[in-house]
Homo-oligomer: A and B are copies of this chain.
Amino acid sequence: MQTKQPDLTRDKILQSAFCEIHRQGFQAASIANILQDTGLTKGALYHHFQTKQALGLAVIEEVIKERLEGLIFRPLRESERPVEMLLEIIATIDKKVPSDFVMLGCPLNNLMQEMSALDELFQERLGGVLGVWQKTVEGALKRGQKQGEIRAEVDYKAAALFVVSAWEGCIGVAKNMQSPKAFGTCMKQLHGYVRGLMPAKAEKGRRKGG
């Protein structure tokens, strides 16, 4: 066992920074808090990350993006019945995610609201993740259209944009109401919207209530 494990140290910083940023926002996130939490010092932190900004960008890329990847992107991409998978994820996301993720909001959305208008690099990175999300939903709808599960006249690009927007909106409003229940209610409506993209036949076949 080594006394110095740079990769572990770096990861500890990233995780702690993620939590601090999730709770306080990026600008209000205190380097000092992260150091206290990890038991490290400024030397360690600024050895691994040149600036606070670089740390924030790394959190986006290596923590937030990866979480979304596992929770949403990958299942959606790999499923052979993408529309059903999308509906499934929308219907169950409120149970799959710890309740403080509703109380504190979506880490991605929080950062977008806070930083997009202030910092170009943040805007690019966040936009990148958002773009992947959108493209993933878009792909699911497109494939669904080929399978006849989405009506032919549906503009799947616009629909995907709306799904992601409404999704984030639901978390945001639920966060302000501090109500996981409202989140569930809201996402159920989004579920209804997506079902509304399906042909009448396929739509009727699905269960109605949540």
How far apart are A30's CB and chain B's nearest CB, in angstroms?
A: 12
A149-170 contact mask (Cβ, 8 Å, vs B): 1 or 0:
0000000001101101111111
Q: How many residues of A contact B (CB 8 A)?
A: 46
- What is the interface of chain A mostly: helix, strand, loop, or mixed? helix
Contact of A103 (CB < 8 Å), options: B117, B162, B166, B174: B117
Given A172-B112, A178-B123, A189-B159 in contact, is the A117-B104 Cβ separation under 8 Å? yes
Judge whether A116 is part of the interface by a CB distance below 8 angstroms: yes
Interface string of A104-128 (1 = CB under 8 A from B): 1100011011101110000100110
A140 at the interface (CB under 8 A from B): no
Chain B CB within 10 Å, residue with most, of A28, A110, A165, A168: A165
Cβ of A27 within 8 Å of any chain B Cβ, yes or no, is yes
A165 is contacted by which of B104, B116, B166 (Cβ under 8 Å)?
B166
- Say yes or no: is A132 at the interface (Cβ < 8 Å to chain B): no
One of B109, B176, B193 near A116 (C-beta < 8 A): B176
A182 at the interface (CB under 8 A from B): yes
Q: Which residues of B contact A173 (CB under 8 A)?
A: 112, 130, 161, 164-165, 168
Known: A105-B113, A114-B114. 10 other contacts (CB 8 A): A25-B25, A110-B113, A116-B178, A117-B175, A130-B173, A162-B186, A165-B172, A168-B169, A168-B173, A169-B170
